[in-house]
Amino acid sequence: MASTDPRVILGSGVSFSGWETDVQAALAEKKRLAYVFHDIGMRPIVRPEKPAKSADLNDYQYQILLEKYQDEIDRWIEGDVEAKNIIVCRMSPEVRPRNYRKYTAKQLFEHAASTRQESAITPYELAGQAFFSTSFTTADEYCDNFLYNLLSLNSAAEALADG
């Protein structure tokens, strides 16, 4: 059954971190997270390598290795295609590389991450983080920081609405 949650589509004015979170959730739901994210504590799923023929293997043994490799590569391709489709469906045409079919899911995500310039929403996100992290030291300092961060947040929101 298809998910009824709206997708976050990466494009102009969309937070990269919000998009990444949506992609991770969709990949996790389909059990494809390890195809893309190799540094999150899970064992990464990488493309299998074709076995090399060595002198200590006879033709029969090597054929068995090749058949095992073919089964592994078929499973990997199927999983990678599903992971890639999840990512592609969450990219606007202006962000999606034209030759995306040549990318693995991991390469496609890394391309989006490396070419993504933070959008106009970034100042708003930063102002929001500063506002919500205002800590209590003295009452006067807290009030000053709170008002300063509130004004920054409002200014960033106005700039976002105007832009």
3-state secondary structure of 91: strand
Decide: 15 and 119 in contact? Cβ < 8 Å.
yes
Mean pLDDT lowest among 37-41, 83-87, 100-104, 132-136: 132-136
Give the model confidence (pLDDT) of 27-81 as tens digits.
999 999 999 999 999 999 999 999 999 999 999 999 999 999 999 999 999 999 9
Decide: 119 and 36 in contact? Cβ < 8 Å.
no
What does the alpha-carbon distance between residue 151 and residue 130 come to, in Å, rounded to a whole number? 11
- Residue 12 has what pLDDT? 80
* Predicted TM-score (pTM) of this structure: 0.68
The pLDDT mean for the chain works out to 85
Q: What is the CB neighbour count within 10 angstroms for residue 62?
A: 14
Q: Token pair of 22, please? A: 């949506």
Q: Mean of the pLDDT values across residues 89-112?
A: 94
Length of the chain: 163
